[in-house]
Amino acid sequence: MKLRDIGIVYRKEMKDALRDRRALISMIVVPILLMPLLTIGIGALSAEIVGRAMEEVPKVMIVGGADSPGVTAELRAQSDIEVVPAAADYAQEIEDKRIRAAVEIPPGFDAALAAGTPAAVTVYEYEGDMKSGIAADRVQKFFRDLRDRTVRGRLESRGIPDTLVHPFDIKEQNVASPEKTTGEIVGGIVPYIVILLCLTGAIYPAIDLTAGEKERGTMETILSSPVSRTDLVFGKFFTVLTASLATAFLAVLSMSVSLGIGRGLLMSLTDGGRAGGFTLSINPESVAAVFVMVLPLAVLFSAALLAIALYAKSYKEAQSYLQPMTILVVVPTIVSVLPGVELSARLALVPILSTSLVSKEILMGTYHWNYIALIFISSCVYAAAALSIAVKLFEREDVLFRT
Amino acid sequence: MPNSPLISVRDLSKNFRSFHRREGLWGGVVNLFRREYRTVEAVSKISFEIEPGEMVGYIGPNGAGKSTTIKMLTGILVPSSGELLSNGFVPWRERTAYVRTIGVVFGQRTQLWWDIAVIESLKLLRRIYDVSQRDFDERIETFDQILGLRDYLNTPVRKLSLGERMRCDLAAALLHNPPLLFLDEPTIGLDVVAKDHIRHFLRAINQRYRTTVLLTTHDLDDIEELCRRIMIIDHGRLLYDGPLALLKQKLLRTKQVKFALRDKEQLPQLAAIEREGLKLERVDELTWRISFDRTRVSTADLIRQILGTVEIRDLLIEDEPIEELIKRIYAGEALHEVNS
């Protein structure tokens, strides 16, 4: 192995790649544009949708209540709902989304309220539908208020203090640091993006440098140069690795910038009560640590993609081999975000999944050094294995000149 | 190594294992589960020697084994059996040292990098082959004189025409001044002018540097203009190895006279020329061709007869095209006459 020859091959391939528009798009343009689009774009879109739903005054139907003019009049007076004339097929109307909710008032409700006998109102809603949920919430809030007022009135009339039914208050307080809150939210998505882009960034150059070279017919010419095949693989491998890491790095950079811009937007999205203590911040050290953990994974991807693409005869064949690789990588990263999946010694040996899990922890500010070491070493072993397979394949005539 | 051959090949063979595909849709399904491989002998026990300074043409139909031979000679492929010594090296065993002493051009591919300027590729090759800056400048100057490179040294390869690219590829292959040059179809796809340029250049470097050249080609004009010696390979076997002149002398029996009639009124008279030993063919309405065996018919007599029978505008006498001769060789005829 000659470092000088590896360097020559590397520089040549990089020079070539930087002049190739397709390579530039996959390596630079996609991650830079994709991230703001994902964070700000989707954030803005959902804020818009939720905002519109909140503004809308939902149509609510009152079923029954003919003998309870008091409560129906009060309901009609509510400004955040619109009471529509009653109809027998209210359930169907909710299902068809012509109205958002219905409330059934039992006969003699007003009278029962005055007499202090028990009564029950039923709220009909379409569960899972946001707008129906909002309507039902508003109706329920009205009845809760009515109940509270009634209780207070009854207690007052008997000279009993309010505290009898309100012995204590319950308050919620978030103990997770802002970093950890961000970790939970961003923690799932950052490793996912970094790992996935390490792969997608490597796919194009891996194909171009192997199957592409076969297709252009330049494989023979490069094999007839005085660069040993091992040096050739390493030169190509480092090119693919550079592309892979550059793609992931640019994506994180672009995401950090767009998160900064999109913070306000995201804040407006989160529940009002928690927004006060909630800040989005990615600690640069954690991101750097994540990159260190992802490094062996990027080596694994680059070497594996190079080996697989080398086996293909043509660009198209290589593409059809490498596309499923994306799914192979997406599945473990999604598993890592599932609730309840936590790092264990066994999971630490599963490539991709382990890196994704440990990255999530690192972004939350938790460093389990023994796991980190185990995962880093195991990933390095996988990466070395993939690299040696790639080198071996380059020595094989039946792979290089597959027809 | 005076007096010893530069390349010496003995009983060289190369086998490939190829997957036999069954036909049809069902065959395609069966292919997925049961694969049948057969061994194809791409090159079969060929032997030859090439002396320093020779220019040898290596011809054969598609799939005959030409490129496989070149790939073994350049160290890209490892032979299945046989001996091969080139420039004092066993190519595949000492590949990186060996390839520093050879130049290779694959006509349908380029060793220049597609998206970068020609000069950058050349500079990179200078580094790969450890050529000193002085030698580099000097050789670029020489190549420019013969090939006229300057105009497109700064153009990316993808923007060059095929002919321009081939010139640059030749310059790239010869940058380290190798004593041995392998050319795999160097003139394929080129126009007449470009072909002429390349041939001129090859003759020039052969004379100036005594570069030994082995070239494969489908264009027999390449051979006629460049090589005294040809090797013919088919189905992996070497069918002929010897001077082109001998092949022609022994095998070129037929000659052709092509002539253009003055007008249509001459057509009825043509029949009078026809006789045994002559083959009359129509090229277009007024142009006709007569092929004849030169051992049986005298060219002078035939021309006299043509001139006496019809009025013509133009007349051309030529040998049987060498393509026809090669076709006959490929078809299995003719060669025994030379070899006997």
Q: How confident is the model at residue B340 (pLDDT cuts 50, 70, 90)?
A: low
B109, B110, B128 member nearest A8 (Cβ): B128
Mean pLDDT in residue range B271-278: 81
Mean pLDDT in residue range A58-76: 88
Nearest residue of A to residue B106, measured between CA atoms: A221
* Helix and strand counts by DSSP (H, E) for chain B: 12, 13
Structural domain boundaries in chain A: 3-40+176-400, 56-164
Given a contact cutoff of 8 angstroms between Cβ atoms, the answer to whether B11 and B82 are in contact is: yes
Which of these, A270, A286, A289, lies nearest to A278 by C-alpha position?
A270
Counting every residue written for chain A, the total comes to: 403
Question: How far is A225 from chain B, CA to nearest CA, in Å?
Answer: 6
Do B97 and B187 fall within a single domain?
yes
* A127–B contact, CB cutoff 8 A: no
Q: Sheet containing B229-234: which strands, arranged edge to edge? A: B102-106, B180-184, B212-217, B55-59, B229-234, B237-243
Do B244 and B301 fall within a single domain?
no
Phi, psi for residue A281 in degrees, rounded to 5 = -145, 130
Do B65 and B176 fall within a single domain?
yes
Do B169 and B311 fall within a single domain?
no
Tokens of A267: 């804040």
- Residues with Cβ within 8 Å of A235's Cβ and at least 6 positions away in sequence, in order, are A5, A6, A7, A8, A9, A10, A12, A13, A227
* A157–B contact, CB cutoff 8 A: no
Cα dihedral B244→B248→B251→B255 (10° resolution): 150
CB pair distance less than 8 Å for B114 and A216: yes
Q: Output the pTM of the full model.
A: 0.74
Do B147 and B262 fall within a single domain?
no
Do B257 and B244 fall within a single domain?
no
Q: Which of B226, B249, B272 is the last residue of a domain?
A: B249
pLDDT at B213 over 90: yes
Per-residue burial over B21-49, b = 16 or more CB atoms within 10 Å of its CB, e = otherwise: eeeeeeeeeeeeeeeeeeeebbbbebebe
Position B83 in a domain: yes
Do B47 and B188 fall within a single domain?
yes
pLDDT at B292 over 80: yes
State pLDDT tens for residues A136-176. Answer: 999 999 998 888 888 888 888 888 887 777 778 788 776 76
Given a contact cutoff of 8 angstroms between Cβ atoms, the answer to whether B170 and B139 are in contact is: no
Q: Which of B231, B249, B267 is the last residue of a domain?
A: B249
Beta strands in chain B, from DSSP E residues, in sequence order: 7-20, 36-50, 55-59, 81-86, 102-106, 180-184, 212-217, 229-234, 237-243, 254-261, 278-282, 287-293, 312-319
- The pLDDT of residue A236: 94
Position B326 in a domain: no
* A350–B contact, CB cutoff 8 A: no
Q: Domain holding B280: CATH number?
A: 3.30.70.920
CB pair distance less than 8 Å for A12 and B124: yes
Mean pLDDT, chain A, whole residue set:
83
Chain B CB contacts of A22 below 8 Å? none
For chain A, how big is the Rg over CA atoms in Å? 31
DSSP state of B94: S
Residue B282 lies in domain: 253-319
Do B54 and B134 fall within a single domain?
yes
User: Lowest mean pLDDT: which of A110-119, A135-144, A248-257, A292-301?
Assistant: A248-257
* B87–A contact, CB cutoff 8 A: no
The residues pairing with A104 across neighbouring beta strands, listed in sequence order, are A63, A122
Given a contact cutoff of 8 angstroms between Cβ atoms, the answer to whether B9 and B83 are in contact is: yes
Position B314 in a domain: yes
- The pLDDT of residue B86: 94
Given a contact cutoff of 8 angstroms between Cβ atoms, the answer to whether A301 and A201 are in contact is: no
Do B187 and B279 fall within a single domain?
no
Given a contact cutoff of 8 angstroms between Cβ atoms, the answer to whether B39 and B17 are in contact is: yes
User: Lowest mean pLDDT: which of A76-90, A254-268, B302-316?
Assistant: A254-268
Beta strands in A95-240, from DSSP E residues, in sequence order: 101-105, 122-125
Mean pLDDT in residue range A391-401: 86
Phi, psi for residue A236 in degrees, rounded to 5 = -70, -40
Tokens of B27: 């065959």
Do B139 and B57 fall within a single domain?
yes
B18, B78, B114 member nearest A16 (Cβ): B114
Rounded Cα–Cα distance for residues B137 and B135 (Å): 6
Do B240 and B284 fall within a single domain?
no
- The pLDDT of residue B178: 93
Position B334 in a domain: no
- The pLDDT of residue B336: 65
Nearest residue of B to residue A10, measured between CA atoms: B124
State pLDDT tens for residues A314-356. Answer: 999 999 999 888 888 888 888 887 777 888 888 888 888 898 8
Cβ burial, residue A248 (10 Å; 0-12/13-18/19+)? buried
Nearest residue of A to residue B127, measured between CA atoms: A8
Tokens of B285: 């309405």
Q: How confident is the model at residue A268 (pLDDT cuts 50, 70, 90)?
A: low
* B75–A contact, CB cutoff 8 A: yes
| The one-letter amino acid at A303 | A
pLDDT at A74 over 50: yes
Q: Which residue has the tokens 């051992």?
A: B295
Rounded Cα–Cα distance for residues A395 and A228 (Å): 10
Question: How far is B101 from chain A, CA to nearest CA, in Å?
Answer: 10
- The Cβ of residue B4 has, within 10 Å, a number of other Cβ atoms equal to 11
Position B331 in a domain: no
Question: How far is A310 from chain B, CA to nearest CA, in Å?
Answer: 16
Nearest residue of B to residue A402, measured between CA atoms: B18
Given a contact cutoff of 8 angstroms between Cβ atoms, the answer to whether B182 and B151 are in contact is: no
pLDDT at A26 over 60: yes
The percent of residues above 70 in pLDDT, for chain A, comes to 88
Cβ burial, residue A21 (10 Å; 0-12/13-18/19+)? exposed
Q: How confident is the model at residue A274 (pLDDT cuts 50, 70, 90)?
A: very low
Q: How confident is the model at residue B335 (pLDDT cuts 50, 70, 90)?
A: low
Given a contact cutoff of 8 angstroms between Cβ atoms, the answer to whether B89 and B98 are in contact is: yes
- The pLDDT of residue A365: 78
- The pLDDT of residue A244: 92
Structural domain count, chain B: 2
Tokens of A179: 């970093």
A16, A222, A401 member nearest B115 (Cβ): A16
Q: To probe the interface with B, which of A14, A221, A396 has the most B CB atoms within 10 Å? A: A221
DSSP A236-282: HHHHHHHHHHHHHHHHHHHHHHHHHHHHHHHHHHS-HHHHTT-----
Q: Domain holding B137: CATH number?
A: 3.40.50.300
- The pLDDT of residue A91: 87
Do B163 and B46 fall within a single domain?
yes
CB pair distance less than 8 Å for B110 and A221: yes
* B115–A contact, CB cutoff 8 A: yes
Pick the CATH number of A56-164 from 3.40.50, 1.20.1070, 3.40.190, 3.30.1140: 3.40.190
Q: Sheet containing A101-105: which strands, arranged edge to edge? A: A82-84, A59-64, A101-105, A122-125
